[in-house]
Chain A
Amino acid sequence: MAAMVGSPQRLAYLDHAATTPLRPEARAAMLPWLDGQFGNPSGAHAVARAARTAIDESRDAVAAALGCAPNEVVFTGSGTEADNLAVRGVAAARPGPVVISAVEHHAVLHPAEALDARAVGVDARGVVQPDELAALLAVTPGVTLVSIMAANNEVGVIQPLAELAPVVRRHAPGAALHTDAVQAAAWLDLATAAASADLISVSAHKFGGPQGVGALVVRRGTPIRAQLLGGGQERELRSGTHNVAGIVGLAAALAAKTAQREAEARRVAGLRDQLAAGLTGLIPDAWETAAADGRRAHLLPGTLHLTIAGVESEALLFLLDEAGVCASAASACASGAQEASHVLAAMGIPRAATAGALRLSLGWSSTAADVDRVLDVLPAAVARLRSAVGVGR
C-alpha cells in the first residue's frame, strides 16, 4: 500500500447544496448588527426602533424577491423550521390528509410522515408526474395540504410546479400548496417559479446568507397555526426574538442573488456541464443519476449527481477529502453516517447501484479551478478503488 501524499493546495469546495459561502453583500449588511448595532425589534425606544426598521426593510426586500406582500413573510430560524411550520401548522389549523412527493427533504418528509401523509412518486428522472398527482388526489378526499418541493436537494431535480399547481386546485380545491424552495432559491426566480404556492420555505445559507435563519411565505388566507408560542413575533406565527443580523443577511443575500441570478445560473451551469461531460467521459460506468441521457433542463444549474459503479460513496468521499475536494454522497444522519437515500429509491435506482452515489454541487463562488481539480482527482480516485482487492485470508 503506497502512502497518500497530502496536498497543501487550497480546498475545492463542491458542496454548495449543503451550504454556500456568505456573499459579500450579506456580510456587509450584517456587520453593523454584529458590531455596535443591536436591539430587540419589539421594544419601544430608539435602539429597538433601529432594529425594527432593519427587520421591516428586510421584509420588504424578501417580499419583492419572492413575489409576495411584506406581511406574508414569516422569518424563522431555519429552512427546516419553515417546513415544519408549513406542514404542521396547516395540518393543525385545518386537519385533514397531507400529500407530499416521495422525494421531499427530511424537513418535510418527517413531519409529514408523523401526520400519515401519502406520497406521490417520481419518474426515473426524479420528476413528479401531474397525472400521478391527480390520481392520488382523486382518491384522497379532503386533502388539507400538498407539499411538493421546488427542487430536490440530492439530485437537483426541479419540479414542474406550474403544471402541478393546477392539478392541486382541480382535484384538491381545499388544499394549501406548500413548496420547499430551500434548494431552488439559490437558482430560480421564485416570484415566478413558486407563484402558484400558498406557502414557500427558504433558508438563507443556501443562497449566500448566514446559517440559522430562514423564511416562510404564508399567503393571505392560508390556514396556519403557530408551532412556537411565546412573545407573538411575526404576527403570532413565530414567537422568539428576531435574529436581526441573520434576517438582514438573509435579505441582502436574496437581493444580491436576485440581481445576479441569470448571469450566475448561466455561468455555473456551464461549469456543471463541463464537469459532467468531463467526468462521464473519463470514468467508465458513471452516469448522471437524474439525467442519464445528458439532458439537464430539469436540473438546478449547480447540482451534478453521479452514480458510479463499483465504488462505495464513503470510500470515494474519503479519498476526495484527503485530496482536498469537498463533496457529499446523500443525506447524512446526526452521527455523520451515510443513510440510504429515499430519493434514489423513489427514482427506482436499486440499492446496490446507489452505493456509488456522489453529489457535486457548485455555487455562486465556484470557479473553473474547482472543476479542473475534480477532473484531476475524481477519475483517479475511482480507478484506485476499483483496482483495490480485498484482504487475503
Chain B
Amino acid sequence: MKVLVAMSGGVDSSVAAARLAEAGHDVVGVTMKLWGGESDTGCCSVSDVDDARRVAQQLGIRHHVWTFTDDFDRRVVEPYVEAHRVGRTPNPCIECNRHLKFDRMLARAEAVGFEAVATGHHARIVERSDGSRCLARGADAAKDQSYVLYVLGPAQLARTLLPVGELTKDQVRAEADRLGLRTAGKPDSQDVCFITSTAGRAGFLSRRLDLHPARVVDDTGREVGELDAVELVTVGQRRGLGLAGGDDARYVVGVDVARRTVRVGSADQLLVSEVVLDQLVWAANASRDSSPRVVDAQCSAHGAPRPATVEVGDGGRTATVRFVQPERRVAVGQSVVLYDGDEVLGGGIVAA
C-alpha cells in the first residue's frame, strides 16, 4: 500500500514510519510546514524538519516538505486569536487535526495517489464487526491522544493509519532505540507549536489582540480586584487574578469580555451538571437518535472521563451532556469527547 506518513520530527512519527516501512509498504514521509513564525525549534521549525528528513534517509524512504502556512494561519491561528477576543477557550491542536492534518493534507495525499495517511498519534482505529471503523484510546493510557482526534469522521478514519497506537511510549522509544533512530530520546513536544516558551500565550496574543483590563467581582457584584487582560482569563483559573490577601479559594467562574468583568467564586460554584455541545462529530456506529445514552465524557486532553448521559437535540445539531456527578465547569470553546469504554463515540465544542 502506498502510505504517506506525516513526520513531525518526533519519535512517535519516526517509529510510525519505520513500522510501515518494515511491513513492506511504499512509504513516503511528509513534514508539514504549518507555522512560518518563531517557534521553540527555530524559525520554520527547521530542526524538526531536519530530524524528520534524517530519519527518512535512515529508513530509506522519500521525504518531502508540504507547506500549509496560509491554511494554518486561516484555520488555526486566526480562530485561536479570535476565540480569545471573545472570551472563549480554543484548542488549536484539535482545529489543526480537523482542518490541516486530516483534511488539507489528507486531500492532497489522496490527490497524488496515496491510499492512506499515517501519523504518530497514540490512539487506535478499531474495525468493528459491521466493517465500520472507529477511533479508540491508545494502548498507553498516559499518552492517549484520542481526545484530540475525535474530529476524524468515518471518511477520515477509512484512510488513516495510527501505527504506534498499540504501543506504549516506552515501547515506541525502545523501538526507536533498536532501529538507532536519532529521535529516540527526543522529548515529547509540549503545548501549542506556534507559541514560544519565552513569549508565552500572553506574549503571543498581546501582539495580535488589544488586551483590556478587567474588574474582578464576587458573586454579589462587589469589586474585589482588577487584572490586566480579560482576554487571557479562563474559567476555572485561580492564579493571576490580582486578588488581595492571597485568597486561594476563589476561582474564575465567569468571564464577560464585553463588560470587561471577571466573576470569581468558590470551587462549588464551578460545578455544573450539564453542558451543551455543537460542531458535533460522530463515529459511524454512534446512535444519533434523541434518546439519552450513557457515556463517559472527557473534557480536556488529559482529563479523567466522567460518567454522563448524552441527548441529541436541535435536529442533531447540538447535544446535551449531563454529568452523573457535577463536573467542574468546562470553558466555552473547549471540546468534550464522548466514549463508550475505550471507543470514541463522538464529540463537540462547548457552546456559549
Contacts and interface: CB of A to CB of B under 8 A. Distances in A.
Contacts of A392: 155
Nearest to A384: B111
Given A4-B113, A315-B112, A319-B112, A391 B44 contact: no
Contacts of A36: none
A315 B111 contact: yes
B81 interface: no
Nearest to A385: B111
B247 interface: no
B169 to A, nearest CB: 27
A1 interface: yes
A104 interface: no
B288 to A, nearest CB: 15
Interface in A162-204: none
Interface in A1-42: 1-4, 6
Interface string B278-291: 00000000000000
Nearest to B4: A318
A337 interface: yes
A308 to B, nearest CB: 14
Interface in B1-31: 1-2, 26, 31
Interface in B108-134: 108, 110-115
Interface stretch (B60-68, B136-144, B265-273, B336-344): B60-68
A337 B44 contact: yes
B179 interface: no
B65 A335 contact: yes
B156 A335 contact: no
B113 A3 contact: yes
A321 to B, nearest CB: 8
A336 B108 CA distance: 18
A69 to B, nearest CB: 42
B65 A337 contact: yes
B113 A1 contact: yes
Contacts of B103: 390-391
A334 B108 contact: no
A44 B45 CA distance: 48
B113 A391 contact: no
Contacts of B159: 391
Interface in A342-393: 384-385, 388, 390-393
Contact of B115 (A1, A318, A390, A391): A1
A334 B46 contact: yes
A1 B110 contact: yes
Nearest to B64: A318
Given A384-B111, A391-B106, A335 B155 contact: no
A236 interface: no
Interface string A311-335: 0101100110110000000000111
A338 interface: yes
Contacts of A6: 26
Most buried by A among B26, B66, B102, B153: B66
Interface string B242-285: 00000000000000000000000000000000000000000000
A312 B106 CA distance: 14
Given A3-B1, A391-B156, A337 B112 contact: no
Contacts of A318: 64, 112
B49 interface: yes
Contact of A3 (B2, B106, B108): B2
Contact of B65 (A336, A384, A393): A336
A36 B227 CA distance: 75
Nearest to B281: A393
A132 to B, nearest CB: 30
B174 interface: no
A385 B111 CA distance: 6
Interface string B41-68: 0001110010001000000001011110
A6 B27 CA distance: 12
Most buried by B among A6, A315, A319, A384: A315
A17 to B, nearest CB: 20
A390 B65 contact: no
A337 B72 CA distance: 14
A312 B105 CA distance: 12
B202 interface: no
Contacts of A388: 107, 110-111
Contacts of B75: none
A2 B46 CA distance: 33
A348 to B, nearest CB: 19
B122 to A, nearest CB: 23
B110 A337 contact: no
Nearest to B66: A314
A384 B111 CA distance: 7
Given A391-B155, A391-B156, A337 B33 contact: yes
B113 A2 contact: yes
Contacts of A337: 33, 44, 49, 65-67, 69
Contacts of B31: 335-336
B116 to A, nearest CB: 9
Contacts of A315: 108, 111-112
B44 A334 contact: yes
B156 A336 contact: no
A385 B65 contact: no
B155 A393 contact: yes
Nearest to B111: A388
Most buried by B among A322, A339, A393: A393
A392 B107 CA distance: 9
Most buried by A among B26, B44, B45, B113: B113
Contacts of A4: 2, 112-113
A319 B45 CA distance: 25
A337 B1 CA distance: 26
A385 B33 contact: no
B127 to A, nearest CB: 19
Interface of B: 1-2, 26, 31, 33, 44-46, 49, 53, 62, 64-67, 69, 102-103, 106-108, 110-115, 153, 155-156, 159
Given A3-B113, A315-B112, 18 more contacts: A3-B1, A3-B2, A3-B26, A4-B2, A6-B26, A314-B64, A314-B108, A319-B113, A322-B112, A334-B46, A335-B46, A336-B31, A336-B53, A337-B44, A388-B110, A391-B106, A392-B155, A393-B156
10 closest pairs, A vs B, by CB? Answer: A388-B111, A337-B33, A336-B65, A4-B113, A337-B67, A335-B49, A392-B155, A335-B44, A390-B107, A337-B65
Interface of A: 1-4, 6, 312, 314-315, 318-319, 321-322, 333-339, 384-385, 388, 390-393
6 contacts: A322-B112, A335-B49, A336-B65, A388-B111, A390-B107, A393-B155
